Amino acid sequence: MQKILITGANGFIGSNLVKYFYQNGFNIYGVVRKQSNLKFLKDLKINLIFCDLKEIDESLFGDDYDFIIHTASYVCDYATESEAYLNIFMITKYLVEKVVLKQKNLSKFIFISSSLVLGYGKLNISESNPGISLLKNPYVKYKKLSEDYIKENLGRQNVKWTILRAADVYGPNDRTSCLHILNAISNNFPMIVGSGEYIFPFCSVDTLVTAVAKSLDNQRSDNQTFVVTNGIQITWKQFFLYFQQKMKKKQRIYIPIFVAKIAAFFLLILYRILPVFDPQITPYRIKRITTNTSYDISSLIESLGFTPETNYEKELDKILKWYLYEKNSGNLPFLKKNLRFTK
């Protein structure tokens, strides 16, 4: 039985990876913090390592993992420079130095990065056709520096790696983006910025999980970097309206872009003064959701040998079924129970 270490195992992406590899017979070691909510790992018989990656205790880790998948990250587009540096770059550096490079027979290290490293605001973005740079944003900046560190230091030690630059990931267990959007629709307060007719790079969590699985023993993924999306062109308006139709909700609110920008600016200032809430809109988010963005995934398809699901309705149904189950079970706050999903 192959042994796999997954950081951020209780998170959105990490928990979906744990479930997949558990169902496929791997011996899983999941890294979580002591105060973590382990709800998504319930009923899964895996080995938990309670450790803050900022303060790694090497004695908690073995030296015989076959694969290490690093998903743990501070996902926050309004993070300060110091927050992003410590919670993205430094935890990656510590993990590589204190765990990855101490392994005896590691087959591969997989790092979940972000497509935003290549920019945004264009169609078919690639290494040779980059989008508008976001490298001044601390989150994006330190994802890119983490990639560079991995390539340099693992390459020097002949440790194989694969970097997967995930686009906008949605799916079951997403208690951030999906939850906020579906809560808004459920409460008849869905806000669409501008016309909503902007293409965004949708990536289902199942597609990302498949990309990880296909990378493990695939020599064509050795020391390679891939962008991961479903390769479909869906707009924010389509995204919202599909959920509204299924939830039998009709109310929608269109917010002019300039109003959204002003609101985002003041919300961010308020957050800096009183950091006790999550600003739902930020200047960075407004930029992203009011431009067309897609990525070239031809190398992903060619090298990993799979074609992502292109039926976005099928993927959105998975999200909605998860959401309604959680909500009707009383697991989600601020919601009325007994919403139904119409097919």
Number of helices (H) and strands (E), helices first, in the chain? 11, 13
Q: Give residue 76's pLDDT band: very low, low, confident or very high (50, 70, 90).
A: confident
User: Which backbone phi and psi does 98 adopt, to 5 degrees?
Assistant: -95, -15
Are the C-beta atoms of 185 and 249 separated by less than 8 Å? yes
Residue environment code for 99-114, b if the CB has 16+ CB neighbours within 10 A, otherwise e: bbeebeebbbbbbbbb
pLDDT score, position 35: 87
Give per-residue pLDDT as tens, 85-102. 999 999 999 999 999 999
Are the C-beta atoms of 69 and 6 separated by less than 8 Å? yes
For residue 182, tell me if it sits in a domain: no
Residue of 72, 36, 80, 78 whose CA lies nearest to 277:
78
For residue 104, tell me if it sits in a domain: yes
> What integer best gives the mean pLDDT of the chain?
92
Please give the radius of gyration of the chain, using alpha carbons only, rounded to the nearest integer.
20
For residue 278, tell me if it sits in a domain: no
The distance from CA 182 to its chain's CA centroid, rounded to whole angstroms, is 17
**How big is the CA angle at 205 (ends 340 and 301), to the nearest 5 degrees?**
130
For residue 255, tell me if it sits in a domain: no
Give per-residue pLDDT as tens, 155-194. 999 999 999 999 999 999 998 888 888 988 988 888 899 9
For residue 265, tell me if it sits in a domain: no
CATH number of the domain at 134, please. Answer: 3.40.50.720
pLDDT score, position 191: 84
Cα–Cα dist 308/297, whole Å: 10
Q: Give residue 77's pLDDT band: very low, low, confident or very high (50, 70, 90).
A: confident
Please tell me the pTM assigned to this model.
0.93
* Average pLDDT for 322-341: 65
Number of domains in the chain: 1
Q: Which residue has the higher pLDDT, 333 or 95?
A: 95
Cα–Cα dist 320/340, whole Å: 10
Q: Give residue 338's pLDDT band: very low, low, confident or very high (50, 70, 90).
A: very low
Give per-residue pLDDT as tens, 207-252. 999 999 999 999 999 999 999 999 998 999 999 999 999 999 988 8
pLDDT score, position 334: 47
Enter the tokens of residue 273. Answer: 């003064």
For residue 181, tell me if it sits in a domain: no
Domain that holds residue 24: 3-167+203-229+294-308
